[in-house]
Structure 1
């Protein structure tokens, strides 16, 4: 049996934008996300539900078509239908992979 602390692999999973934050927190669909509008610098909070299916939700700092200087942070293409984040997302102990063109893919 593999290490239970190792990130869990998943097949491609469609990222679903949950506009209503309360519904996002309640339903916790794997790979779903909610975006909190940005500040004057163009930095946003991108909340996501871990794609592995554990139900954990977490925010990450993203820039609107740029990577903010603080770490960790991600570049977001500003699409709510086919979002892409760079670099990869590592939800420690659960999942590691990429969100590209609206799909979460395991590393």
Structure 2
């Protein structure tokens, strides 16, 4: 298991892409209420990005796969566990990516 990686929120998508910091993320609203797309750089340090569909304070049932998001951009938590391109598996809990 590797050391936890801080999840850093960016408001500006272009600056997020340019910075390319492992574990950093942006949140983009979707058309449906309380649904968001969480885009992030893989916490492994590889230059991989991924997108997740997340529901604020709920796990969407109409879209799969989908994750519960606690709604925080400073200390985000997602459920369940995440696997990224077969490169990294773990959780985002209280603002830190923790590999399993």
Shorter-chain-normalised TM-score: which range?
over 0.9
CA deviations on 1:3-47 (whole Å, 9 max, x unpaired) are xxxxxx431111000111001111210000000124343110000
Q: Is 1:43 aligned to 2:39, yes or no?
A: no
Q: Once structures 1 and 2 are overlaid, which stretch shifts more, 64-73 or 36-45?
A: 36-45
- The CA RMSD measured in Å over matched residues stands at 1.1
CA distance in 1, matches of 2:93, 2:30: 21
Match of 1:100? 93
CA deviations on 1:73-106 (whole Å, 9 max, x unpaired) are 0000000100000001110321000000000000
Scaled by the length of structure 2, what TM-score is found? 0.92
Max radius of gyration: which structure?
A: 1
CA contact (8 A) 1:12 1:105 kept: yes
Match of 2:60? 68
Q: Which of 6, 12, 15 in structure 2 is aligned with 1:20?
A: 12
Q: Once structures 1 and 2 are overlaid, which stretch shifts more, 20-29 or 76-85?
A: 20-29
Scaled by the length of structure 1, what TM-score is found? 0.87
Where in structure 1 do 4 or more consecutive aligned residues deviate above 2 Å?
A: 37-41
Match of 2:80? 87
Which protein has greater RCO, CA pairs closer than 8 Å, 6+ apart?
Answer: 1
Which runs of 5 or more structure 1 residues have no equivalent in the other structure?
A: 1-8
State the aligned residue count.
Answer: 99
